[in-house]
A = this chain, B = another copy of it.
Amino acid sequence: MFNFTFHNPVKIVFGKDTIKELPNLIDPDEKILLLYGQGSIKRYGVYDQVLKALKGYKIVEFPGVEANPEYETCMKAVEVVHKEKINFLLSVGGGSVLDATKFVAAAAVYDGKDPWDFVAGNPKAKIKGALPLGDVLTLPATGSEMNTNSVISRASIGEKRAFSSSYIYPRFSILDPMTTMTLPERQMINGIVDTFVHVMEQYLTYDVYAPLQDRFAEGILLTLVQEAPKVIKDPKNYNVRANLMWASTLALNGLIGKGVPGDWATHMIGHELTALHGLDHAQTLAIVLPAVLKHQKEQKVTKLMKYARNVWGVTDKAEPETINAAINRTVTFFNSIGMPTQLSDYKLTPKDCQPCVEKLKKRGSKLGEHENITYKEVAEILELAA
């Protein structure tokens, strides 16, 4: 096992009717910027619950945060923060609104020239603080509610980049599974696939003899495999919603990745596909993951065998067949819940994705737990995903 530090101070308030806890979580003197998306929180009552809970608070609203939140949108929110002297940010929505909120929190007190610098990973751009933030989560997927990550897009230059800072941990996250009842099926499935791949990025690498981390990872994967068909068949089942919501938080709150290597090649390639072709984040992951596993079979052999055995119950085959079976079962699982897994499903070819390869080449990216996936290997992976 590797050495590690684990420090996750986010307060999770989980369960039915927990939005009313907001006044116990935000000081009454705070002036709040309430960030949300395209209005679904108004259609399904979440907005009303939040305003009712925060009656008497000074609130300024910032609606209109888009999926794959845009740098330009976020910078407008930063302006509002300054103009209105906001001192607390409240995100109400999914991971996109929350990621935007995290960016705004850091950008509002950033002492450098352009906050895009810390998003793009300019080594001189250091986040040294952030406004306090909290969230009411309505879409289980990104894990953003209990981690230090944020992903911001900048369409004008075709970029989608992730950054991280301990300053952008939410002070609290309210997770009420009831808020997910009205999600479109596509978003729920996206969330399940996103969660699944978050786990795979931390589990399916090389073995450092950390069986407990592996068991936890497998536990999340098995829960997803078990609960995903149920949420489609029986979408009003509260417990199924609750299990999926808690699984998505634990998949990316840092815990299962502690002491073990991380891959993240699938995410890095996926971000490029979203930036270039506008595919949903989870759609890109479902395309790229199986191809990465096929391409990196040799490097990942021990973990692929473990995955086959402990997640898919494949124990009766020789090694190459076992590994192929595990990858095929992954594909079949995604397909079974309505998630395509090939570029062609979106009428795309590897050639259409060449600009992604070029961008990774230009950036000198070395992806994967062995940093052995350069732009050349990415091109091969995209061929496998055709």
- Give A contacts to B, CB under 8 Å: 1-18, 208-212, 215-216, 218-220, 222-223, 226-227, 239, 242-243, 246-247, 250, 255, 258-259
Contacts and interface: CB of A to CB of B under 8 A. Distances in A.
A179 to B, nearest CB: 14
B242 A1 contact: yes
Contacts of A216: 215-216, 219
Given A211-B226, A211-B227, A212-B220, A5 B12 contact: yes
Contacts of A247: 212
Given A215-B223, A216-B219, A223-B215, A239 B209 contact: yes
16 contacts: A1-B15, A4-B12, A4-B15, A5-B13, A5-B14, A9-B9, A14-B258, A211-B223, A212-B219, A212-B246, A212-B247, A215-B218, A216-B219, A218-B219, A246-B259, A255-B255
A276 to B, nearest CB: 35
A215 B209 contact: no
A5 B1 contact: no
A1 B176 CA distance: 12
A215 B211 contact: no
B5 A7 contact: no
Contact of A246 (B1, B11, B208): B1
Contact of A219 (B219, B243, B246, B258): B219
A5 B13 CA distance: 5
Residue among A1, A242, A250 with the highest chain B CB neighbour number at 10 A: A1
B6 A12 contact: yes
Nearest to A215: B219
The 10 A-B pairs of least Cβ separation, nearest first, read: A3-B15, A215-B219, A9-B9, A7-B11, A6-B12, A209-B239, A1-B242, A212-B223, A4-B14, A211-B223
A6 B8 CA distance: 11
Contacts of A7: 9-12
A285 to B, nearest CB: 21
Contacts of A239: 1, 208-210
A364 B379 CA distance: 70
A223 B218 CA distance: 13
A14 B212 CA distance: 15
A192 to B, nearest CB: 13
B243 A209 contact: yes
Nearest to A24: B5
Contacts of A6: 11-12, 14
Indicate the member of A18, A215, A255 with the most B CB atoms within 10 Å: A215
A378 B6 CA distance: 40
A212 B253 CA distance: 15
A160 to B, nearest CB: 30
